[in-house]
Amino acid sequence: MLRYDLAGRTVAITGSTGGLGSAVAQALRRRGAHLALLDLDGTAVAAQADALGGPLVAWAAQADVTDLDNVRSAVDRAAAHFGRIDVVIANAGVSAVAPMATLNPETFERVVDVNLTGVWRTFKAALPHVERQRGYLLAISSMAAFVHSPLQAPYTASKAGVWAMCNSIRLEVRHLGVGVGTLHPTFLKTPMLDAIHADPAGRRLWGGNERGLWRMCTVDKAVRSIVSGMERRAQTITACRAHALVAAAPGFFRPFVDRVGFTTKTITEASAASSPSGGLPPTSSTVSCGFEEQSAGFEVVEDKTVRLSEGDPARRGP
């Protein structure tokens, strides 16, 4: 495969001021890429852009991946600034460590919204621009997509979801010449991992990631893997060679299924026949459900469904 030269290309990165995002941004600048830096912290991302060379090569915008309109506006402005977007790295992410029994529901929803739905929103916003360049979409997943730890249900679910979602999206866009990949790093010395180690539950669970199965990988090694993977437009990227087999095993049969089970003709025809709702019916209120059940010989009484006697007219609500 020909090397995908990053020099002169525009790469948009969400969560760009984080530990991994910052290191990747620096490496890409050394490769000669132009950077659209997108982060929730507007002050920090502006300073990051200045440090990387200023607006001619590193442009910054505040962006919230939990808000589609917000991230779309940021991506559109980045494309207008540089005239193109070739690559998008969906890097924004958060983590939490607690068992289901005590975890706040709001925390679960927040982790999934940022880590999984945030990737979808980022790709959704960027695809029109990336499609024009026949470019590449890269999502930051994790080895947690394949190895599911306790006390991290929202994190492992979101990262496994990112991997599965990208496998689906890859099939949808391959006829457009757009590549889709996922990165699966293990533990890296970043502010996110520092926060986990500062938490008593995280410290006890992972033992500081100092040895054994859970020992840390260096950020430099992870960045080298990411850049190399981007230059290959790889589908799956791991930060350490020892993890490659674990990452490859769940998808061993996927290339065969992708090619034989889902032809490009089938995908494009199904896409053309689809609706924006995806076929999901609109949600119904309790009252409307009651009316539907009444028409079938049932009545809703104080949130309970009872069968009407034969000959009883179905009473209509007010």
> Hey, which residues are catalytic here?
155
Given a contact cutoff of 8 angstroms between Cβ atoms, the answer to whether 114 and 65 are in contact is yes
Given a contact cutoff of 8 angstroms between Cβ atoms, the answer to whether 135 and 155 are in contact is no
Q: How far apart are the first and last CA of the chain?
A: 68
Sign of CA dihedral 47, 49, 51, 53: negative
Contacts of residue 266, defined as CB under 8 A and 6 or more positions apart, other chains included, come to none
Contacts of residue 305, defined as CB under 8 A and 6 or more positions apart, other chains included, come to 293, 298, 299
Residue with tokens 């290339």: 255
Given a contact cutoff of 8 angstroms between Cβ atoms, the answer to whether 230 and 57 are in contact is no
DSSP string, 37-52: EEES-HHHHHHHHHHT
